[in-house]
């Protein structure tokens, strides 16, 4: 996706936010760019006219699991529908030079791995990918490396805590509740120091 500042309104337009479910957003990922008509929630998307110029509609990118992105990907709203849609579509990894904060966080909560790389590395990946049909990268979270088809290995960083959570599929809430006593203690102190917060 060779453009900067791809925002969450583009990733999943608002009419699809009316759903009260977590799944089923994949067919409407990038709806306004992907289709030539205006999509509505609950509609059958199979017969809608597709925009042939849009990257994800090109034959060579069918089944892609890695999304190459530019600066500030995922900017805009906090809607978690954005990572839900990306994940539902089949993406597992997004590689880009920078991400918007809330979006970056939301990815980890949904088994999507956002990887920040130097802009120079991302440029090279874009160039290679455009130049070779069937271009494949492999991403290993365990060793925190990306391997290019030419054999070059690119290391990347992930917070150790987030990495563990992703690898083990841990539930954040369960983890936090291990500290329930500490939370209760904190709360009790706060109740005494700033009672007006507990009106």
Partner 1 sequence: MQAQTLYEKLWSSHVVHVEDDGTALIYIDRHLVHEVTSPQAFEGLKLAGRKPWRVDSIVATADHNTPTDHWEMGIQDPVSRQQVETLDSNIREVGALAYFPFKDERQGIVHVIGPENGATLPGMTVVCGDSHTSTHGAFACLAHGIGTSEVEHVMATQCLLQKKSKTMLVRVDGQLGAGVTAKDVVLAIIGRIGTAGGTGYAIEFGGSAIRSLSMEGRMTICNMAIEAGARAGLVAVDDQTVAYLKDRPFSPRGEQWDRAVAYWRTLHSDDGAVFDAVVELNGAAIKPQVTWGTSPEMVAAIDGIVPDPVLEKDPVKREGMERALQYMGLNPRTPINAIAIDKVFIGSCTNSRIEDLRAAAFVARGRRKADNVKLVLVVPGSGLVKRQAEAEGLDKIFIAAGFEWREPGCSMCLAMNADRLEPGERCASTSNRNFEGRQGAGGRTHLVSPAMAAAAAIAGRFADVRELA
Closest distance to partner 1 from the beta carbon of 155 (Å): 17
Element (H, E) at 115: strand 113-116
Supply the DSSP string of 150-195, one letter for each residue: TS-EEE----HHHHHHHHHT--HHHHHHTTHHHHHHHHHHHHHH-G
Closest distance to partner 1 from the beta carbon of 33 (Å): 8
> Strands of 93-96's sheet, edge to edge?
66-68, 93-96, 113-116
Element (H, E) at 95: strand 93-96
CA distance between the termini of the chain: 49
Closest distance to partner 1 from the beta carbon of 127 (Å): 12
Q: 10 Å Cβ neighbour count for 87? A: 19
Closest distance to partner 1 from the beta carbon of 143 (Å): 18
Cβ proximity to partner 1, 108 vs 154, nearer residue: 108
Closest distance to partner 1 from the beta carbon of 68 (Å): 13
Using CB under 8 A, list all residues that contact partner 1: 3-5, 7, 9-10, 13-15, 17-22, 32, 38, 41-42, 70-72, 75-80, 83, 98-102, 105-106, 109-110, 159-162, 172-173, 176-177, 179-180, 182-183, 186-187, 190, 194-199
Extract long-range pairs of 60-63: CB within 8 Å, 24+ residues apart: 60/133, 60/134, 63/90
């Amino acid at each position: 996706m060779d453009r900067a500042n791809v925002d969450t309104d583009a990733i999943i337009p608002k009419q699809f936010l009316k759903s009260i479910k977590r799944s089923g957003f994949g067919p409407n990922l990038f709806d306004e760019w992907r289709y030539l008509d205006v999509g509505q929630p609950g509609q059958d998307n199979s017969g809608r006219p597709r925009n042939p110029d849009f990257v994800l509609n090109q034959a060579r990118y069918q089944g892609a699991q890695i999304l190459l992105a530019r600066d500030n990907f995922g900017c805009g709203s906090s809607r978690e529908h954005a990572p839900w849609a990306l994940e539902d579509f089949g993406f597992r990894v997004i590689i880009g030079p920078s991400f918007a904060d809330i979006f970056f966080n939301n990815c980890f909560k949904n088994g999507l791995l956002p990887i920040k790389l130097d802009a120079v590395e991302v440029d090279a990946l874009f160039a290679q990918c455009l130049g070779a049909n069937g271009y494949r990268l492999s991403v290993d979270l365990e060793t925190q490396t990306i391997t290019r088809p030419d054999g070059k290995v690119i290391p990347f960083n992930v917070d150790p805590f987030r990495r563990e959570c992703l690898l083990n599929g841990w539930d954040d809430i369960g983890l936090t509740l291990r500290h329930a006593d500490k939370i209760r203690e904190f709360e009790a102190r706060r109740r005494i120091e700033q009672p007006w917060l507990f009106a």
